[in-house]
Structure 1
Amino acid sequence: MPSLKRLTLVAVTALAVTFGGQVTPALAANPYERGPAPTVASIEATRGPFAIAQTTVARSGVTGFGGGTIYYPTTTTAGTFGAVAISPGYTASQSSVAWLGPRLASQGFVIITIDTLSTLDQPASRGRQLLAALDYLTASSTVRTRVDAGRLGVMGHSMGGGGSLAAATSRPGLQAAIPLTPWNTTKTWSSVQVPTLIIGAENDSVAPVASHAEPFYTSLPAGLDKAYLELNNASHSAPTSSNVTVAKYSISWLKRFIDNDTRYEQFLCPKPAGPAIQEYRDTCPHAG
């Protein structure tokens, strides 16, 4: 039987319900849907339907993280947007994840790619910095009025991916987490309550999936909306340059869980397959 949450997301715009002599409005369509109905072509495209702009966040103007770049839809008529903070990995700067900024923002999100306080920061610190960046984005950034503070997510590469798991652990109110070829000395994430997509790489010699991405995934709670995607014949650095597989499933996950947009469920369930995917696991059907 569909959950009440699912039912509230169904558009029933042509009907009204009469109860006790009162005519009440029908259930509204999902108010968080942004953009046209998706297709495989639309989630694989290098740009989505929204025109975007970007603004630089100076290190000197923020606390808790090392500055960054905000990418955001320019429309002022589509309502507020969900937002995602993205951290680079060990020794790297935001340039290593910069390709994700415009790609995700043009699909209807506000994205901040961050520099960390030190390029040597460990995952726990990167997790705190991701949350600091979200707090800045929603409370004091120049685009704060465009952001829905109740619909936020985190992503990160390598130690930034390990940081996204740490952020999800400490802030269960997040809507989505996507660790990209994550690295962390902590292997058990049983307290995570945030829908999580872990993307690993088959030939990763820095954070081998057998000791990082896979145990991270299996340690997540059994009842959690979660997925594990392993990139076929890919290395640790695969998420640091334009990658159609990383993009299409990240977009689908963020849309599904930050925007509650069930139009994107089709790309996640049934489990996808293809030459770019070595393995995919998911808890289909999603409950969230």
Structure 2
Amino acid sequence: MQQHSINSAPAPAPAPTTAPAPGGRRRRPVTAALVALLAVAGLQTAMTPGAQAADNPYERGPAPTTSSIEAVRGPYAVSQTTVSSLSASGFGGGTIYYPTTTSDGTFGAVAISPGFTGTQSSIAWLGPRLASQGFVVFTIDTITTVDQPDSRGRQLLAALDHLTQRSTVRSRVDSTRLGVMGHSMGGGGSLEAAKSRPSLQAAIPLTGWNTDKTWPELRTPTLIVGADGDTVAPVSSHSEPFYESLPSTLDKAYLELNNASHFTPNTSDTTIAKYSISWLKRFIDNDTRYEQFLCPIPRPSLTIEEYRGNCPHTS
């Protein structure tokens, strides 16, 4: 997004005031005191996070607010393009959502897999919602709807390779800033993808399912999202063990949705979007402006049953 500055000549400084003070002493010139005050204020401004954030070349979009990350659409207009299964290699095709503008340079990207028996339509709401916040998002179909998590992990990586090497929007993507997400077996697949490719910057399994319960080898910042009412992949046997097995040194978090089911990620959900956006921004874009939504640890609420994590984040 273009930044505009207003160039106007500064007003002339007033003449020093040197009226005598009571007792015959002369006051210190007002301008000298004002200059000193402004110098201190300027130094403090230069040290604020907002000033430092300008040094991050991956920062995209305006400073976030709770309202902006909970909104159905972010600051970017979004376009989309379809990838046919006939032109896809190693996955089943899909839809790429991307910011329409080319004035902000490249964007980080995330591939998202549906769950068992699901198609990309089941996770399609995440495409424009995440892309409008400044990401290229690839919602994919799997080769068959019954593919298992290990296969879905390989397909997520194949989709990212297509996105960065062969897609029509590859010039818009920064191939060094990539992440994966997925629902159910697709969530289990996102863990598999992160295990296979440690260079990934973020992983977000949504009510993930996997027969492998331990992930001590992961090096990718991971946000595990579970649901308190999940009877397909209960948090006690899936999301919680996944989270607890991650290395203690890893940037990680566990969000358990309140009054939610295994299929909550299949429809537009503000809590999932809010924390997914924050996680992707924080670790794919290294945008510390979003740390405020992750640390301190969010408290239980009408939509959050529980949240765990290690703060502050270091990556």
* TM-score, L = length of structure 2: 0.83
Corresponding residue for residue 285 of structure 1: 312
Identity %, equivalent residues: 73
Establish whether residue 30 from structure 1 lines up as the match of residue 56 from structure 2. Answer: yes
Query: Which of the numbers 294, 302, 307 marks the counterpart of 1:275?
Result: 302
Displacement of 1:116 = 0.1
Residue 86 of structure 2 aligns to a residue whose secondary structure is helix
1:261 partner amino acid: D
> Are 2:112 and 1:86 aligned?
yes
The offset of 1:28, in angstroms, is: 6.3
Q: 2:203 pairs with 177, 184, 200, which one?
A: 177
Taking the TM superposition and a 5 Å limit, the aligned residue runs for 1:107-118 are: 107-118=133-144
The 3 A distance-change label for structure 1 pair 29 and 245 is same
Q: RMSD in angstroms over aligned alpha carbons?
A: 1.3
Q: Offset at 1:275?
A: 1.5
**Which residue type is aligned with residue 143 of structure 2?**
L
Q: Give 1:242 deviation, angstroms.
A: 0.3
For residues 182-235 of structure 1, the C-alpha deviation after alignment (integer angstroms, 9 at most, x for no partner) is 000000100000000000000000000000000000000010000000000110
Normalised by the size of structure 1, how large is the TM-score?
Answer: 0.91
What is the letter of the counterpart of residue 256 of structure 2? E
Q: What secondary structure sits across from 1:189 in the alignment?
A: coil
How far residue 11 of structure 1 moved from its aligned partner, in angstroms, is 7.2
Indicate whether 1:40 and 2:78 are aligned.
no
Q: Deviations over 1:159-184 (max 9, x none)?
A: 00000000000000000000000000
Say whether the 8 Å CA contact 1:158–1:182 is kept in structure 2.
yes
Which residue is equivalent to 2:84? 58
Asked if residue 161 in structure 1 is aligned to residue 196 in structure 2, the reply is: no
For residues 224-258 of structure 1, the C-alpha deviation after alignment (integer angstroms, 9 at most, x for no partner) is 00000000011000111000000000000000000
1:218 and 1:34 map into 2 onto residues whose CA distance is: 32
- In structure 2, what is the Cα distance between the partners aligned to 1:208 and 1:166? 19
Looking at CA atoms only, which structure, 1 or 2, has the larger radius of gyration? Answer: 2
Separation (CA, whole Å) in 1 of partners of 2:67 and 2:180: 25
Is contact 1:153-1:174 (8 Å) kept? yes
Q: Retained in 2: the 8 A contact 1:43–1:251?
A: yes
Cross-structure match for 1:19: none
Tell me if structure 2 keeps the 8 A contact 1:205–1:236: yes
Deviation, structure 1 residue 12: 6.3
Offset of residue 62 of structure 1 = 1.2
Runs of 4+, deviation exceeding 2 Å: 10-13
Per-residue CA deviation, residues 44-102 of structure 1 (Å, 9 max, x unaligned), is 00000000100010000111000000000011110100000000000000000000000
- 128, 132, 139: which one pairs with 1:102? 128
For residues 111 and 246 of structure 2, the distance between their equivalents in structure 1, rounded to whole angstroms, comes to: 21
1:208 is matched with 234
Asked if 2 retains the 8 angstrom alpha-carbon contact of 1:11 and 1:30, the reply is no
Preserved CA contact (<8 Å) 1:11 1:29: no
How far apart are the structure 2 equivalents of 1:251 and 1:28? Answer: 20
Give the match's secondary structure for 1:31.
coil
Q: Which residue of 2 aligns with 1:130?
A: 156
Partner residue in 1 for 2:257: 231
Q: Give SS of 1:61's match.
A: coil
Name the count of aligned residue pairs: 267
Distance 1:164 1:58 in 2: 22
Q: What is residue 7 of structure 1 aligned with on the other side? A: none
Question: 1:20 maps to which residue?
Answer: none
In structure 2, what is the Cα distance between the partners aligned to 1:275 and 1:117?
A: 38
